[in-house]
Amino acid sequence: MLKLEARPEPSKIWTYGSPVLALLITVLIGAVMFSALGKDPVKGLEMFFWLPIHNAYALGELMVKATPLLIIALGLAVCFRSNVWNIGAEGQYIIGAIFAGGVALLADASSTRWIVLPILLAGVLGGMVWAGITALLRDRFHANEILVSLMLVYVAVQLLSYLVGGPWKDPMGFNFPQTKTFESVTRIPRLFDGSRVSIGALLALFSVAALWVFLFRTRSGFALQVGGLAPAAARYAGFSSRKALWMALLMSGGAAGLAGALEVAGPIGQLTLYVPAGYGFAAIIVAFVGRLHPVGMVFSAILMSMFYIGGEMAQSRLGLTKSLTGVFQGLLLFSLLACDTLVNYRLKWRTRGGA
């Protein structure tokens, strides 16, 4: 029978091969699902894998979708590597958006273009504040950060609803629960005409590099990771677990808040009830599929965005339901987790007893 046998050291081939295998498995199951639904499987796969990249506009849209996912995932990677489970990135995203929106609302037509900077910084601050609550509760009260951060997501959603339905409502907006459209000076500058890609994409790439340096070249990054992998060893080495906790949560909160600010002062252009787009949760998958590695997460963010956009296309062109996106994403993560065992284990046929 098939048995799992531990490898003496992690297999290099499978470290890179496992995500590819997982993707292939997902594609295969996807093709089967399309056929089962009576749709041409190849056309279906085309929706997900070709259309989102087939021209410059599509690539731009892909970047627009991938940027917030990537930024949040970068922050989450820091957390997960330190064994701090921040599931509430969505809430930090929303509060970041709120803070950023608050600054943007202060602008009027004569404000300087540089207001974009305080807007982004406000977003970072907002996300940090929200994550800080989770950190505080875990630090002082040992409250489980998974649950606290998650509950805070729901609180953040209600807070947004209150602000756009009350104090921040657009007085010219016929009482609809949304703020006024932000002045054009507050908008995040776009990179190219004809596309919605903004400097957010540049910020994301810069953050990738920054994270790489932080994790693999700095002492605190190292300390965080040791704390996550071997807490006892970390304590022995004198790495403060409290410092690690706060650093991880503040960094991921700030990242999520930045993503929120970029969305709200970018493609959306105002605060509405629909700011929460589920990026905080999707970023968790992006982080895992990217193996918590900065470069890997760039690819997984692009892949996840292809799933999102592909799902929309599949619906408008093939009449398939959009929920397929969630199915694919879940399948990908499942397959990846399963294939990852191949990194540390070998599959072998073993017979019991004698020959």
Partner 1 sequence: MESYALLLAATLNAGTVLAIASLGLLINEKVGIVNLGAEGMMLCAAIAGFATVVSTGNDWLGFAAGMGVGALLAAIFGVLVIWLNTNQYATGLALTLFGTGFSAFVGTSFVQAKIPERTSFAVPYLSDIPWFGPALFRHHPLVYVTVLLALALIWFMYRTRNGLVMRSVGESPESAHALGYPVRRIRLLAVVAGGALCGLAGAYLSVIYTPLWVEGMVAGKGWIALALTTFATWRPARVLLGAYLFGGVTMLQFHLQGIGVDVPSQFLSMLPYLATIVVLALISRNPQWIRINMPTSLGKPFYPGA
Partner 2 sequence: MTDLQKRALLKAAALTAVASAALVGCGKKEEPAPAPVPAPVASAPAPAPKPEPLKIAFAYVGPVGDGGWTFAHDNGRKALEKEFGDKVVTSFVENVPESADAERVIRDMAGQGNKLIFGTTFGYMEPMLKVAADNAGVKFEHATGYKQADNMRTYDSRTYEGAYMAGVIAGAMTKSNTLGVVASIPIPEVVRNINAFTLGAQSSNPKVKTKVVWVNGWFDPPKETEAATSLINGGADVLFQNTDSPAVLKTAEAKGKRAFGWDSDMTAYGPKAHLASAVINWGPYYIKATKEALDGSWKGGGGQWWGVKEGAIDIVSIAEDVPAETKAKVEEVKKGLADGSFVIWKGPITDNTGKVQVAKDSAADDKFLGGLNFFVKGVEGKVPGAK
Contact flag: residue 16 with partner 2 (CB under 8 A): yes
Contact flag: residue 124 with partner 2 (CB under 8 A): no
Q: What is the 8-class DSSP label of residue 173?
A: T
Contact flag: residue 337 with partner 1 (CB under 8 A): yes
Q: Cβ contacts of residue 207 below 8 Å, gap of 6+?
A: 70, 71, 74, 255
Distance separating alpha carbons of residues 65 and 165, to the nearest angstrom: 27
List, as one string, the DSSP characters of 182-244.
PPGGGSPPBSSTTS--BHHHHHHHHHHHHHHHHHHHSHHHHHHHHHHH-HHHHHHHT--HHHH
The answer to whether 123 and 261 are in contact (CB under 8 A) is yes
For tokens 């999102």, what's the residue? Answer: 308
C-alpha dist (Å) from residue 304 to 46, 297, 332: 15, 10, 10
Binding region for partner 1 (CB under 8 A) out of 94-102, 123-131, 187-195, 338-346: 338-346
CB 325, min distance to partner 1, A? 7
Identify the three-state secondary structure at position 202. Answer: helix
Distance separating alpha carbons of residues 239 and 82, to the nearest angstrom: 12
Distance separating alpha carbons of residues 57 and 50, to the nearest angstrom: 13
Residue from 110, 112, 175, 351 binding partner 2 (CB under 8 A): 175
Binding mask 292-331 for partner 1 (x = CB under 8 A): -----------------------------x-xxxxxxxxx
Q: Cβ contacts of residue 316 below 8 Å, gap of 6+?
A: none
CB 249, min distance to partner 2, A? 27
Residue from 8, 38, 166, 354 binding partner 1 (CB under 8 A): 166
Contact flag: residue 184 with partner 1 (CB under 8 A): no
Tokens matching residue 164:
């756009």
CB 196, min distance to partner 2, A? 8
Distance separating alpha carbons of residues 172 and 133, to the nearest angstrom: 35
Binding mask 273-312 for partner 2 (x = CB under 8 A): xxx-x-------------------------------x--x
Q: At what angle do helices 199-217 and 294-318 cross, to 10 degrees?
A: 140
User: 78 to 137, contacts with partner 1 by CB under 8 A?
Assistant: 85, 87, 137
Contact flag: residue 181 with partner 2 (CB under 8 A): yes
Binding region for partner 2 (CB under 8 A) out of 102-110, 114-122, 145-153, 166-174: 166-174
Q: How many alpha carbons fall within 13 Å on the CB side of residue 343?
A: 17
| Binding at 155: pick from partner 1, partner 2, none (beta carbon under 5-8 Å per type) | partner 1
Binding residues for partner 1 (CB under 8 A): 4, 85, 87, 137, 140-144, 146-148, 150-152, 154-155, 158-159, 161-162, 165-166, 281, 284-285, 288, 321, 323-331, 333-334, 337-338, 340-341, 345
Binding residues for partner 2 (CB under 8 A): 12-13, 16-17, 20, 23-24, 27, 40, 42-43, 45-46, 49-50, 61, 64, 158, 161, 165-166, 169, 171, 174-177, 181, 196, 263, 267-270, 272-275, 277, 309, 312-313, 315-317, 321-322
